[in-house]
């Protein structure tokens, strides 16, 4: 599971890097900046949710 989380984290960082490049090129377009911020927040929420699921799964299996 740790490798899965690390791979997911690397993927998220790669997506964030690519989005940051777009932001740097398009800083004059506030609509795009807001859309990128939204997607970055969504990625963070999804990553946090997956982390939460992993933790609850580990906690439930450790009780058995």
Q: How would residue 6 be classed by pLDDT, with cut points 50, 70 and 90?
A: confident
Contact (Cβ atoms closer than 8 angstroms) between residue 23 and residue 33: yes
pLDDT at 51: 94
CB 19 within 8 A of CB 39: yes
The conformational region for residue 29 under phi > 0 = left, psi -120 to 50 = alpha, else beta, is: beta
Taking only the tens place, the pLDDT of each residue in 15-34 is 888 888 877 877 777 887 78
pLDDT of residue 46: 96
| Rounded (10°) CA dihedral 29, 10, 54, 47 | 0
> What is the per-residue pLDDT for 50?
95
Over residues 28-57, the mean pLDDT reads 90
pLDDT-above-70 percentage for the chain: 95
């Amino acid at each position: 599971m740790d490798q899965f989380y690390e791979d997911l984290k690397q993927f998220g960082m790669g997506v964030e890097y690519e989005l940051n490049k777009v932001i740097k090129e398009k800083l004059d377009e506030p609509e795009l900046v807001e859309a990128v911020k939204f997607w970055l927040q969504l990625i963070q929420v999804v990553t946090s949710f997956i982390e939460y699921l992993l933790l609850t799964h580990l906690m439930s299996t450790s009780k058995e």
